[in-house]
């Protein structure tokens, strides 16, 4: 049996994917594992820009945005650079955050500025 946090995380990523598709994104990959780097939750494109989307969610009073720490952002950036290199991609990219609080979605583009 799968653990409840994993199930909740999967549901949150499914909601995030649906939200992004409704906003005009084309989903390329989900849960891409970059060896020795970490996982990229969602990789998508829109308007000729490659988006690496980190999904954070929570049901408690603690705001899930606080789980997006500087060390987590470094891992996402390193994984994104690895992905671009491995796939031989030459296009603009950004790191985004999609925060899910209960049923509310907050999309923050280019969180590394």
Strand partners, 54: 97
Query: Given this model, what pLDDT does residue 42 score?
Result: 97
Those residues whose C-beta lies under 8 Å from the C-beta of residue 76, and which sit 6 or more positions away, are: 38, 40, 52, 54, 95
Query: Given this model, what pLDDT does residue 61 score?
Result: 72
CA 94 to chain centre: 11
Q: How far apart are CA 69 and CA 5, in angstroms?
A: 19
Please name which of 2, 4, 3 lies closest in space to residue 60, comparing C-alpha atoms. 4
Query: Given this model, what pLDDT does residue 76 score?
Result: 94
Ordered structural domains, the chain, with CATH:
4-108 (3.40.1350.10)
Residue 91 DSSP symbol = S
Give per-10-residue mean pLDDT for the chain (113 aa). 52 90 97 88 97 87 84 93 95 96 88 77
CA atoms within 13 A on the CB side of 20: 33
Query: Given this model, what pLDDT does residue 113 score?
Result: 58
CA 60 to chain centre: 20
């Amino acid at each position: 049996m799968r653990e409840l946090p994993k199930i909740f995380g999967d549901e949150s990523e499914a909601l995030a994917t649906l939200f992004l598709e409704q906003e005009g994104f084309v989903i390329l990959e989900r849960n891409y594992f970059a060896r020795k780097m970490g996982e990229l939750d969602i990789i998508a494109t829109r308007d000729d820009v490659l988006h690496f989307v980190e999904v954070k969610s929570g049901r408690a009073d603690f705001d899930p945005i606080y789980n997006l720490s500087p060390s987590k952002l470094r891992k996402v950036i390193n994984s994104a650079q690895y992905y671009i290199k491995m796939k031989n991609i030459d296009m603009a990219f950004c790191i985004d955050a999609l925060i899910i609080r209960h049923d509310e979605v907050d999309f923050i583009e280019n969180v590394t500025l």
